Structure 1
Amino acid sequence: MAPDGQMPSPSDLDLMSFLPPPESPEFPSALFGPLGRRLVGEWLALPAALRPGAWARWRDDAGVSRFDYWLVTRLTWIASISHDESLESQRIALELVEETR
């Protein structure tokens, strides 16, 4: 949501513009590079209780009562950084996986 409280239009949310064209050989792995690192970094900068991967956030705020549903969302959140090749991303992914256990 924009600072003025309005939802951006679909054209303003063109996240595909950050990725190579779908025809590109780099397309499948592009999310696991700088874009994924940046997004996870911004999430990790949030207070722990506000992070999108927090169980309490899903349970209390989103009304999700099934642990298995949350686990899939958590692993999806971790996937974008765990597939990145940098050692720092791997370290962060390992910490997130261990925290999930």
Structure 2
Amino acid sequence: MVANDDGGFAVAVIRLWLFVLAAQVVFYVLLRMHIRSGQVERLENRWDARHPDQAGNTAARRAFIAKAMVGFNRTLRARLAGLVFVLPTLAVVVIVILVNWQ
């Protein structure tokens, strides 16, 4: 990628940024789904341990899980998933700067 008069370098940088952003979005969605399903699994196990007579997918169990998941997006674990956007972008910027430093 050599800078020239027709803006080829800028187009290449924008294409790289779009590719990285698309990959980050896919990874973020998958990570959020994984973290959320792990939390639901822990809540299901907690319900089953507390209520062995009501094991299975009952309405009370679903209500317990729904109520417990209300504040999940504000937890540290859920917020740390946002680093999926920050860390790779920062790494690419640092690599580009270090490679092109003269």
* TM-score interval (norm. to shorter): under 0.3
Question: TM-score w.r.t. structure 2 length?
Answer: 0.26
Which of 1 and 2 has greater Rg?
2
Structure scoring higher RCO (CA < 8 A, sep ≥ 6) equals 2
Question: TM-score w.r.t. structure 1 length?
Answer: 0.26
